[in-house]
Structure 1
């Protein structure tokens, strides 16, 4: 498993997917290697997965690709000694320029293409052109494409005529908030609204803050998250909050028990993500039974359906939803239970791991090749 920060999962959706899928593949008897960067786990094994720590250039435009370059080189070298992998899972289409290294060593590869990265405002000019180009390279050089949302699968089919394997993320199911954890942080169940997001414009943290400020909500807004390389946007968000005493910025919360309790204890969870596929933060909120107010895009409607959430497109609409939740918290709680039920039925890690197992077996047996990604017309 190549192209993420690795495990233990402390950062984002890719890392959580690697941990949840990898541990289950290891439990099923497969040898799983995860390439990692950043904070080093003290052991070479974690939950049955073998960890390989390699460095990366600490710059936005080079961090992922530099680490993946070392990872694919290491994996290819293992192949030379006949200890290499039967299949490789590469996360993020940005790593597509390095796929020929794996192909040269006859390592079949599936690329998880993620969301529509070129739409993210942090990439402009050459960065945007790069992400548009690597989508095409992922189609050209992958034996399989993995799409975590139907919307992503449809995008690759319509733009490139490319087939994808649809495998979403899973949702952890929580039965309730840890009242003690919340109390330590100064909150009570049902006593606050929540935002959890990296501070990037396409995640609409600014819209969440502006919509909340426009509302007559009495319960506080708790904002969890930050972002490397996003000082300008972070400043903008804090300026929008101004001196409103109802808004609290917690920064990154790395205590998973506290974060889970915040999801489960929130009156509403405001989800502004717009350019990804199936978003792990949204699934975690659903699994915690949070009443979701989501930015109105096809990806979020796909995950929530029609009954497990409410949608907004501007600050005024969000303000109305926040006020409605406070006016009728029982209805908001019922919507949260509907979200938890949907998550438990549709987004199950055991099922997802079995889908990845079948995918890897198909790769190893050469039942998937570049011809199955982009059939000849």
Structure 2
């Protein structure tokens, strides 16, 4: 079909997914659409500077459109806003807006277009420690605009739904993330990383609210703990570069660059003894859901989002000593295995990609 009547997916770097949670979601929606004969009903807006070249015009039968802007950082605001305008002008009947960066454009868009806007607001982005001053104000106003002007809101976590209800008086459809790798490839060779045979693992963007400094400090100073592998985008921020410089000399710490190849990530996860999740902001974090699906015991930062995601079945910490106490619990292998089994059972019941994509398709009318 032509553009008219199609659904646009807006707010990601693009597909194939290689960046983060929303990209994984977009990838899963595209794969599910391809499996079920819906691929010709979707268009995904992509970032040309972050896409492979030459730029493909389709992926698994889904149309790809490009803008010459980056999909994250400050450029995400014009990137999302222009994507929305292009989708409306080309006759798309609905847009799935992932995140609130472009939401300040919604009042004007609603005035001139009948395109239905369905917005997953992600976490409460303006609360993240990295945002200050004008940036925080813009994000807070963007969230308010998304809540006011979207036809439908999606929350990936019950705490996000509660925030939307209490702050804006808006209900939200709760749709979480999936945990399984629905496109498993051959086992990857990660010998180039020179990792130990087994280790604790953390995976997070290098941002203050993810508490990597606390986690790294504890493992660097406590020889009773196993080696620690941390996968992060160290080079992308001043904070990440400072962390890498501070901790790179510790033999028991392995600081791995952000890895977006699913097979390599699976190989890294396979040798993990347990997972340490320091995220304090956001909603349902995809890395946490994935590790739950692995059946690993998990020590998670004690916040309402993580308690909701894990149904309170992880171990929780809010300090270095609290983390040490969590890890001491894991020394009881029987208790650690039992926790991992509980978390895996919850992930299998709650976080299945087939259920997630079906829920999105129902909401989008596909």
Query: Of residues 64, 67, 71 in structure 2, which corresponds to 1:51?
Result: 64
Distance in 2, matches of 1:78 and 1:40, equals 24
Match of 2:170 among 153, 157, 162: 162
**How many residues in Structure 1 have an aligned counterpart in Structure 2?**
350
Q: CA deviation at 1:346?
A: 0.6
Distance in 2 (alpha carbons) for counterparts of 1:194 and 1:76? 43
Matched, 1:209 2:216: yes
Relative distance call for 1:187 and 1:337 in structure 2 (3 A) is farther
1:282-321 matches, cutoff 5 A: 282-307=288-313, 309-321=314-326
> Normalized against structure 2, the TM-score is what?
0.88
Q: Give the aligned partner of residue 334 of structure 1.
A: 338
Q: SS state of the match for residue 94, structure 1?
A: coil
Shift of 1:204: 1.1
Which of 78, 85, 108 is equivalent to 1:66?
A: 78
Q: Which runs of 5+ in 1 are unaligned?
A: 80-84, 365-377
- Note the residue ranges of structure 2 that are not aligned, 5 or more in a row: 1-8
CA RMSD across the alignment:
2.4
Query: Does the aligned pair in 1 maintain the 2:15–2:44 contact within 8 Å?
Result: yes
Q: Which structure has more RCO (C-alpha within 8 Å, separation ≥ 6)?
A: 1
Distance 1:139 1:254, change over 3 A: closer
Question: What is the distance in 2 between the residues matched to 1:220 and 1:114?
Answer: 32
1:215–1:319: 8 Å Cα contact kept in structure 2? no
Within 5 Å, give how 1:61-140 maps onto structure 2: 61=74, 63-79=75-91, 85-100=92-107, 102-103=109-110, 104-140=112-148
**Does residue 1:221 correspond to 2:231, yes or no?**
no
1:341 deviation in Å? 1.7
Write out per-residue CA displacement over residues 74-118 of structure 1, whole angstroms, 9 at most, x where no aligned residue.
Answer: 212212xxxxx2211111112111224542221011111110111
Q: Give the superposition deviation at 1:211.
A: 2.4
In structure 2, the residue matched to 1:33 is 43
Q: Would you say the 8 A contact 1:173–1:287 is kept in 2?
A: no
TM-score normalised according to structure 1 size: 0.86
Structure 1 residue 218: Cα displacement:
4.3
Q: CA deviation at 1:59?
A: 8.1
Residues 236-245 or 208-217, more deviating: 236-245
Q: CA shift at 1:337, angstroms?
A: 2.5
Q: State the secondary structure of the residue aligned to 2:101.
A: helix
Instruction: Classify the secondary structure of the residue corresponding to 2:154.
Output: strand
Counterpart Cα distance in 2 of 1:271 and 1:55: 34
- 1:29 Cα deviation after fit: 3.2
Mapping of 1:238-249 within 5 angstroms?
A: 238=244, 240-241=246-247, 243-249=249-255
Tell me the residue number matched to 1:350.
354
Residues 226 and 341 of structure 1: is their aligned pair in 2 closer, same or farther, counting only changes over 3 Å? Answer: same
Distance 2:235 2:170 in 1: 33
- How many Å separate the matches in 1 of 2:72 and 2:172? 31
SS at match of 1:219: coil
CA spacing shift, 1:180–1:159, aligned 2, 3 Å: closer
